[in-house]
């Protein structure tokens, strides 16, 4: 562990609250990592500011002493973007969780970056509003982290990515300078929109300290359906039908029987359908007229678009269907050793891609089970490759790197993305060139140099 310069420590002791900086080993271990468990956390200290001014003054010091910094939110990331493994100072936003009163007329709310996603949901729900950024980790993820990673989730098909729900940002640059970008404005066409640079920048350009969020009306009654289809072509045919169905789609998720079998082994589940099927689709819809929805479902059966299906009759049944989908990740880890990827393909390429992936893996990695699920309405696949039970862990890990290159070759061939929603961080950095050209990476570096000339912001991440 590197030591911080004496003069920096003296300045912190003089100009900041006594509890501002922690070097407690348990804090270092906690704040040095995210949900990935690949890198050993090794920060030098954890700073816990309460105000933007404290963030600004700290970054000025870090610039003066060239101390690297890792911005840190709820640390629920899956790409090791918030990992501090190189003696950095972690700047945790967790004390900055103030939420201003909701601007009901404008449909906006300004919050500090450390506000927890689910607390924002609660804060605005009493006005019939929501910030529609929604995923499993919302109970601990923070607004600043959501924005810095342009978070996705299960409602993207209805609401888009986090990028669409950010009106204004307050950002502290490495120099300590505070930028106010945008504000409570829907429209502001005054030159290059610098907000967009920070959305999805994974902490490499500055620290987001406050945000003005765009809100929308809470959805009306939601209907949840589970369907069985024989193959991926069936998943896509049903998607085509749903696109023109008598409702608004709020989620279109799929998973395979291989995933379902793992959920069954790990949890006691009530099976909503009478018999297993190779592929399942979870469809959630809003504003459906009961008769129109029933008619639509009947027609699917009559035309053989689905082989089985059920419409949740009450909230408990809806939750049980969602539990199947949301239990997959945990069940895969509980019943084996998954190697995870999060990729996106143009929807029309999904079938070709998956068929080729299966056959290439069968040939090169016999016995490796591929558990597929994801937000297929967005072309987003979570590809979990399971270690064969008989294979040594070390032998498996030694080959996953090569297997990733194999998969990403196919992703590139089918014009997809190697990271749909998780970002690049440390985990996918070696593979960035599969999705971005040399010139693009050079332009990113130039932007980085313009905003962070000393390279102290989250060094080594992304590019």
Directed axis angle between helix 232-243 and helix 350-364, to 10°?
160
For the CB of residue 265, give the shortest distance to a second copy in the complex, in Å: 30
Tokens of 456: 């102290």
For the CB of residue 183, give the shortest distance to a second copy in the complex, in Å: 5
Task: Tell whether residue 207 is a contact of a second copy (CB under 8 A).
Answer: no
Q: How far apart are CA 103 and CA 110, in angstroms?
A: 9
> Cα dihedral sign for 278, 282, 283, 289?
positive
For the CB of residue 89, give the shortest distance to a second copy in the complex, in Å: 23
Q: How far apart are CA 310 and CA 227, in angstroms?
A: 6
3-class SS at 412?
A: helix
**In the range 7-36, which residues lie near a second copy by CB under 8 A?**
none
Closer of 217 and 364 to a second copy (Cβ): 217
Tokens of 131: 């910030």
Closer of 105 and 363 to a second copy (Cβ): 105
For the CB of residue 333, give the shortest distance to a second copy in the complex, in Å: 23
CA count, 13 A, side-chain hemisphere, 362: 6
Task: Tell whether residue 101 is a contact of a second copy (CB under 8 A).
Answer: no
Q: Judged by CB under 8 A, which of 441, 455, 459, 460 binds a second copy?
A: 441
**In the range 306-335, which residues lie near a second copy by CB under 8 A?**
none
For the CB of residue 33, give the shortest distance to a second copy in the complex, in Å: 20
Question: Which of the ranges 34-42, 60-68, 353-361, 428-436 carries the binding residues for a second copy, by CB under 8 A?
Answer: 428-436
Question: Which of the ranges 42-50, 52-60, 332-340, 433-441 carries the binding residues for a second copy, by CB under 8 A?
Answer: 433-441
Find tokens 């194999």 and name the residue. 406
Closer of 89 and 208 to a second copy (Cβ): 208
**In the range 237-276, which residues lie near a second copy by CB under 8 A?**
239-240, 243-244
Q: How far apart are CA 393 and CA 421, in angstroms?
A: 27
What lies within 8 Å, CB to CB, of 294 at 6+ separation is 311
**In the range 111-140, which residues lie near a second copy by CB under 8 A?**
128
x/- binding map, residues 155-194, to a second copy, per CB under 8 A? -xx--xx-xx--------x---x-xxx-xxxxxxxxxxxx
Contact (Cβ atoms closer than 8 angstroms) between residue 67 and residue 26: no
Q: Judged by CB under 8 A, which of 12, 111, 199, 328 binds a second copy?
A: 199
What lies within 8 Å, CB to CB, of 246 at 6+ separation is 288, 289, 292, 293, 295, 296
Closer of 31 and 431 to a second copy (Cβ): 431
For the CB of residue 107, give the shortest distance to a second copy in the complex, in Å: 7
Task: Tell whether residue 463 is a contact of a second copy (CB under 8 A).
Answer: yes
Question: Which of the ranges 46-54, 117-125, 150-158, 394-402 carries the binding residues for a second copy, by CB under 8 A?
Answer: 150-158
- If you write DSSP's letter for every residue of 192-214 in order, what string do you get? S-THHHHTT-TTSS-EEEEEEEE
For the CB of residue 99, give the shortest distance to a second copy in the complex, in Å: 17
Q: How far apart are CA 325 and CA 186, in angstroms?
A: 35
Closer of 189 and 274 to a second copy (Cβ): 189
**In the range 282-311, which residues lie near a second copy by CB under 8 A?**
287
For the CB of residue 159, give the shortest distance to a second copy in the complex, in Å: 11
Closest CA to 239 of 380, 343, 385: 380
3-class SS at 396?
A: helix
Closer of 71 and 423 to a second copy (Cβ): 423
Q: Judged by CB under 8 A, which of 29, 315, 398, 450 binds a second copy?
A: 450
Site size toward a second copy (CB under 8 A) is 81
**In the range 44-83, which residues lie near a second copy by CB under 8 A?**
none
**In the range 353-392, which residues lie near a second copy by CB under 8 A?**
375, 378-380
Q: Judged by CB under 8 A, which of 23, 323, 337, 347 binds a second copy?
A: 347
- If you write DSSP's letter for every residue of 89-123 in order, what string do you get? EEEE-TT---BPPPBTTTTEEEEETT-BHHHHHHH
Closer of 282 and 444 to a second copy (Cβ): 444
Contact (Cβ atoms closer than 8 angstroms) between residue 248 and residue 194: no
> CB under 8 Å, gap of 24 or more: what pairs does 267-272 form?
267/327, 267/331, 269/320, 269/323, 269/324, 269/327, 270/320, 272/226, 272/310, 272/317, 272/320, 272/321, 272/324
For the CB of residue 342, give the shortest distance to a second copy in the complex, in Å: 9
Task: Tell whether residue 416 is a contact of a second copy (CB under 8 A).
Answer: yes
Task: Tell whether residue 439 is a contact of a second copy (CB under 8 A).
Answer: yes
Q: How far apart are CA 302 and CA 298, in angstroms?
A: 6
């Amino acid at each position: 562990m590197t030591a911080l310069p004496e003069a920096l420590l003296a300045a912190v002791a003089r100009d900041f609250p006594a509890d501002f900086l922690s070097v407690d080993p348990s804090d270092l271990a906690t704040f040095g990592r995210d949900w990935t468990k690949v890198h050993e956390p090794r920060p030098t200290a954890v700073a816990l500011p309460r105000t933007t001014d404290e963030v600004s003054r700290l970054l000025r010091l870090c610039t003066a002493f060239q101390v690297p910094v890792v911005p840190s939110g709820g640390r629920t990331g899956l790409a090791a973007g918030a990992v501090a493994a190189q003696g950095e100072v972690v700047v945790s936003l967790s004390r900055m969780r103030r939420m201003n009163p909701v601007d009901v007329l404008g449909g906006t709310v300004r919050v500090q970056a450390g506000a927890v996603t689910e607390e924002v949901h609660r804060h605005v729900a009493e006005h019939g509003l929501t910030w529609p950024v929604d995923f499993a980790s919302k109970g601990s993820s923070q607004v600043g982290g959501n924005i810095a990673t342009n978070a996705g989730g299960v409602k993207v098909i209805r609401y888009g990515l986090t990028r669409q729900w950010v009106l204004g940002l307050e950002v502290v640059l490495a120099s300590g300078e505070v930028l106010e970008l945008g504000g409570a404005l829907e429209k502001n066409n005054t030159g290059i929109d610098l907000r967009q640079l920070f959305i999805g920048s994974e902490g490499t350009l500055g620290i987001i300290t406050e945000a003005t969020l765009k809100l929308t009306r809470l959805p009306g009654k939601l209907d949840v359906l589970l369907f069985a289809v024989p193959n991926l072509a069936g998943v896509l045919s049903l998607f085509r039908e749903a696109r023109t169905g008598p409702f608004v789609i709020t989620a279109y998720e799929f998973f395979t029987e291989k995933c379902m079998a793992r959920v069954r082994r790990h949890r006691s589940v009530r099976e909503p359908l009478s018999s297993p099927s190779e592929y399942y689709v979870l469809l959630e819809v809003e504003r459906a007229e009961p008769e129109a929805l029933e008619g639509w479902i009947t027609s699917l059966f009559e035309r053989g678009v689905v082989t089985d299906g059920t419409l949740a009759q009450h909230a408990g049944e809806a939750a049980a269907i969602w539990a199947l989908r949301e239990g997959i990740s945990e069940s895969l880890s509980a019943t084996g050793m998954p190697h995870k990827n999060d990729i996106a393909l143009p929807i029309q390429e999904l079938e070709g891609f998956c068929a080729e992936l299966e056959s290439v893996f069968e040939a090169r990695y016999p016995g490796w089970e591929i558990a597929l699920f994801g937000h297929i309405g967005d072309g987003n696949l979570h590809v979990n490759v399971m270690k064969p039970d008989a294979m040594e862990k070390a032998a498996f890990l030694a080959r996953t790197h090569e297997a990733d290159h194999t998969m990403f070759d196919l992703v590139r061939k089918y014009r997809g993305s190697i990271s749909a929603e998780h970002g690049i961080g440390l985990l996918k950095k070696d593979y960035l060139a599969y999705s971005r050209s040399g010139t693009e990476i050079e332009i990113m570096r130039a932007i980085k140099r313009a905003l962070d000339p000393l390279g102290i912001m989250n060094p080594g991440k992304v590019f």
